[in-house]
Amino acid sequence: MREITIPISDDVIRELKVGDPVALNGVMITGRDAVHKWMIETFIKKTRAPQGDDLAVYEALKPVLAGGVIYHCGPVVSGLETKEYKFVAAGPTTSIREEPYQADVMKHFNVKGVIGKGGMGPKTLKGCQETPGVYFHAIGGAATFIAQSVTRVLGVHKLDFGVPEAIWVIEVKDLPVVVTMDSHGQSLHQVIEEQSGKVLQDLLTK
């Protein structure tokens, strides 16, 4: 298993291939539907004007996301009343919901890695080639195990989105993932889908 420290350089990204197991170390953020929609509308397509703390959050996120990682995760967090936050569960969310947004977010913020489950589509795969970046597949159904890799919660933005949808800034140590979409246009998810389709077609025609 290759240990990689965030921020991640272009050279390291280009060395990664589908199937590579990786242990991630460093600071990343969580972000799901509300976060991606907010990023696109407010700062990329600019279809809505910044409101409230939007600009302050944007400025805080830029250095974290440059060479950084977004984790599609809706965590269970303790310590909400005391603000002594701790991740209790941190399993990956199904990533395909972010397909309309992900490539644009990667390009705008220079994001090098996206973590989730289930893979993503052709737009994100193209984004991985252009940015460059990779998609890391995390283990579904292992939320409490993955939470053990979260050593510290450094802060939270947009808590008004709700705990699962907020932007949590976390420090991780040896978070286990596998590269399933790389910067060379390869996607294990696409391969498996094609192979499964052939098997299904064979079964239906027998």
CATH of the domain at 167: 3.20.130.10
92-105 per-position pLDDT tens digit: 999 999 999 999 99
Alpha-helix runs per DSSP H in 90-168 = 102-109, 122-130, 143-147
Q: What pLDDT does residue 23 have?
A: 98
Is the pLDDT score of 19 beyond 70?
A: yes
Q: What pLDDT does residue 114 have?
A: 98
Catalytic residue of the set 36, 72, 137, 157: 36
If we measure between CA atoms, which residue out of 204, 189, 186 comes closest to residue 14? 186
Are 177 and 24 a contacting pair, CB within 8 Å?
A: yes
Q: What pLDDT does residue 201 have?
A: 65
Mean pLDDT of the chain: 93
Looking at the structure of the chain, the number of domains it has is 1
Are 175 and 23 a contacting pair, CB within 8 Å?
A: yes
157-206 per-position pLDDT tens digit: 999 999 999 999 999 999 999 999 999 999 987 655 655 556 556 666 76
Residue range of the domain that includes 66:
2-205
Are 93 and 73 a contacting pair, CB within 8 Å?
A: yes
36 in active site: yes
Residue range 27-32: mean pLDDT, rounded: 98
Q: What pLDDT does residue 193 have?
A: 61
Neighbours of 77 (CB within 10 A): 22
Residue with the larger pLDDT of the pair 1 and 70: 70
Residue range 25-38: mean pLDDT, rounded: 98
119-168 per-position pLDDT tens digit: 999 999 999 999 999 999 998 888 999 999 999 999 999 999 999 999 99
